[in-house]
Amino acid sequence: MKKILITGGAGFIGSHVVRRFVKKYPQYQIFNLDALTYAGNLENIIDIENEPNYTFIKGDIVDAPFIDQLFAEHEFEGVLHLAAESHVDRSITDPLSFVKTNVIGTMNLLNAAKATWQGNYEGKRFYHISTDEVYGSLGAEGLFTETTAYDPNSPYSASKASSDHFVRAYGETYGLPYVLTNCSNNYGPFHFPEKLIPLFINNIIQNKPLPVYGDGKYTRDWLFVEDHAVAIDLVFHEGVNHDTYNIGGFNEWQNIDLVKLLCKIMDEKLGRAAGTSEQLIAYVKDRPGHDLRYAIDASKINKELGWKPSVTFEQGLERTVNWYLENQTWLNNITSGEYATYYEKQYAN
């Protein structure tokens, strides 16, 4: 059985990738390595925990001796690396933890893969999952392509950019077989409620203010998380060695318009009068270094690998809202305790 390591599989995107791989590929033994930080939650993958081709390992990618030992023991043939510190606001208050996990953690995995594979790269693949935020900010026009120069503005995007560079450098310097993807904002089930869409769904349910940064004109491209998992599956199996693909939803939204659409869907779902949830919108002080617009050109993966999103934004958003309404215990377990303290600190201004 081919042994595949997926890092960060208890997080948002990782849980969808792990589920897909465990169910679709019984010929793979899937190892899910996750430190279970505040963002990692085994409830996200409870439905597959007893599958015979699935093993969970609790561990920290920053711990080099542990990672070396793990690779020496299992000799993974494939790595899908998703573990990361992923929240921009947290990177502003604690940048060093982003350097540790996103840069040093990635280096540890690269070193362990290199040491294990020892130049015998046949059938091996290191897949690094990254973000479009490495490209920085766009003006009103244009799209990020795979050749856009990196220009990160937040500690989060700087740490992801750095890890991307190291992955490419290991490819060039040591011949390590890698693929890399840069994806736009994901949304969907199991999204941690510090991120915009689940945060606002939760606040609307609870009649709490909806904190919109600045003037709400920030523009992002949004992709349903299951469509990202499909793209990851495709790139892992069919992507060209040493190549990069942008992944996006062809779906740009200004934050304020997105929030209004979400309010409309929530009013319908909760049986509230039209316009009720919109009254919760509260503009708050802007985030420092806030990028104005991200927009991704995903035509390369579309042309070369035949991938495109399977759901429209309206369909994906409705599925997401339904999921959160049906899984309020999951939401309540997270929004109590430590997260509640973080939330108060973050939005106290």
* Active-site residue list: 132-133, 156
First vs last C-alpha separation in the chain: 54
Q: Choose, by CB under 6 A, the member of 18, 19, 60, 219 that binds ligand NAD.
A: 60
The window from 7-15, 141-149, 274-282, 288-296 that contacts ligand NAD (CB under 6 A) reads 7-15
CB of 225 to ligand NAD, least distance (A): 8
Residue type (1 letter), 159: S
Number of Cβ atoms within 10 Å of the Cβ of 32: 29
Q: Choose, by CB under 6 A, the member of 5, 12, 248, 258 that binds ligand NAD.
A: 12
The C-alpha R_g of the chain, in whole angstroms, comes to 20
Total residues in contact with ligand NAD, by rule CB under 6 A: 31
CB of 64 to ligand NAD, least distance (A): 12
Question: Are the C-beta atoms of 6 and 33 separated by less than 8 Å?
Answer: yes
Does residue number 37 form part of the binding site for ligand NAD (CB under 6 A)? yes
> How would DSSP label each residue in 161-200?
HHHHHHHHHHHHHH---EEEEEE-EEESTT--TTSHHHHH
Q: Choose, by CB under 6 A, the member of 4, 5, 6, 13 that binds ligand NAD.
A: 13
Q: Choose, by CB under 6 A, the member of 32, 116, 186, 244 that binds ligand NAD.
A: 186
Distance CA 86, CA 97 (A): 11
By CB neighbour count within 10 A (0-12 exposed, 13-18 middle, 19+ buried), where does 306 fall? exposed
Does residue number 101 form part of the binding site for ligand NAD (CB under 6 A)? yes
Does residue number 105 form part of the binding site for ligand NAD (CB under 6 A)? yes
Percent composition of the chain: helix, strand, coil (DSSP 3-state, to 5): 50, 20, 35
The window from 10-18, 169-177, 213-221, 298-306 that contacts ligand NAD (CB under 6 A) reads 10-18
Does residue number 14 form part of the binding site for ligand NAD (CB under 6 A)? yes
Q: Choose, by CB under 6 A, the member of 4, 18, 45, 61 that binds ligand NAD.
A: 61
Provide the mask over 71-90, with x wherever binding to ligand NAD is found by CB under 6 A and - wherever it is not. -----------xxxxx----
Residue count (the chain) = 349
Does residue number 62 form part of the binding site for ligand NAD (CB under 6 A)? yes
Burial 124-134 (b: 16+ CB within 10 A, else e): bbbbbbbbbbb
The window from 37-45, 211-219, 290-298, 307-315 that contacts ligand NAD (CB under 6 A) reads 37-45
Distance CA 187, CA 255 (A): 14
Q: Which residues bind ligand NAD (CB under 6 A)?
A: 7-8, 10-14, 34-37, 39-40, 60-62, 82-86, 101, 105, 129-131, 160, 183, 185-186, 192
